[in-house]
Structure 1
Amino acid sequence: MRFSAATFAAAALLASIVGAAGQTSRENLVSLVREDCGSCHGLTLKGGLGPSLLPGALANKDAATLGEIILDGVSGTPMPPWRGLLSPEDARWIAENLKEGFPR
């Protein structure tokens, strides 16, 4: 399996976020989405290299499917797989919160 530089950078960022003292798991996930996902999907999640992750853009997608995309990535695109770095529960939490409007 080949990994891109972006995947390695994402893993390093995730390790630094998860290791941050004084934050709860959910705060870590919010930081991950804002800092790492935002690098491709735009810092305001309105889109960039990757598509918009705002509720309107995700309205016709269910959270379970979005969670699987987070975990497995999208072949042939820059979207890396996060399985092994995120649990299925964390991916589902991210997906549900993206559909509702991600917290600041």
Structure 2
Amino acid sequence: MLASRFLPLLLLAALPVLAGETEPSPARQKELVHLVRQDCGSCHGMTLQGGLGPPLLPADLRDKPAEGLVATIYYGRPGTPMPPWKQFVSEAEAMWIVEKLMSEFPK
């Protein structure tokens, strides 16, 4: 009886793990930082302050929903120069990138 009362809480706590949403390894984080700085930076500016694409600084992203930014990274924006990156990053990695962009992106 007691276990059945806590089962929903255990399942809720396990959702990120079950969905495969773990933080990228330190080596993969380094690769993602390089990807953003070099590949994304070619349009958004090497310092992410904008260029062909809009700036990607925390102040510029503050009012944007994280889920929408993840979708933009993963699926791109049809009809614009923003390509999909799903062949290079997972959705969980796109979320990691967004979280870092919304706080302070690593150097």
Scaled to the shorter chain, the TM-score interval is 0.7 to 0.9
1:43 maps to 46
The one-letter code of the counterpart of 2:87 is G
For 2:67 and 2:99, how far apart are their aligned partners in 1? 8
CA RMSD of aligned residues (A): 1.0
Tell me what 1:86 maps to.
Answer: 89
Return the alpha-carbon distance in structure 2 between the equivalents of residues 95 and 81 of structure 1: 15
Q: Which runs of 4+ in 1 moved over 4 A?
A: none
Q: CA deviation at 1:95?
A: 0.6
5+ long unaligned stretches in structure 1: 1-22
Post-superposition offset of 1:83: 1.3
**Larger of the two Rg values belongs to structure:** 2
Deviations 1:61-84 (A, max 9, x none): 122211111001011110000112
5+ residue gaps, structure 2, are 1-25
- Determine what percentage of the aligned residue pairs are the same residue: 52
Taking structure 2 as the reference length, the TM-score comes to: 0.74
Give the number of equivalent residue pairs: 82
Describe the superposition over 1:1-52 as per-residue Cα deviations: whole angstroms up to 9, x where unpaired.
Answer: xxxxxxxxxxxxxxxxxxxxxx700000000000110000000000000000
Superposition map of 1:56-95 within 5 A: 56-95=59-98
Residue of structure 2 in register with 1:53 after alignment:
56
Distance 2:61 2:71 in 1: 14
Normalised to the residue count of structure 1, the TM-score between the two structures is: 0.76
**Stretch deviating more after TM superposition (80-89 or 41-50):** 80-89
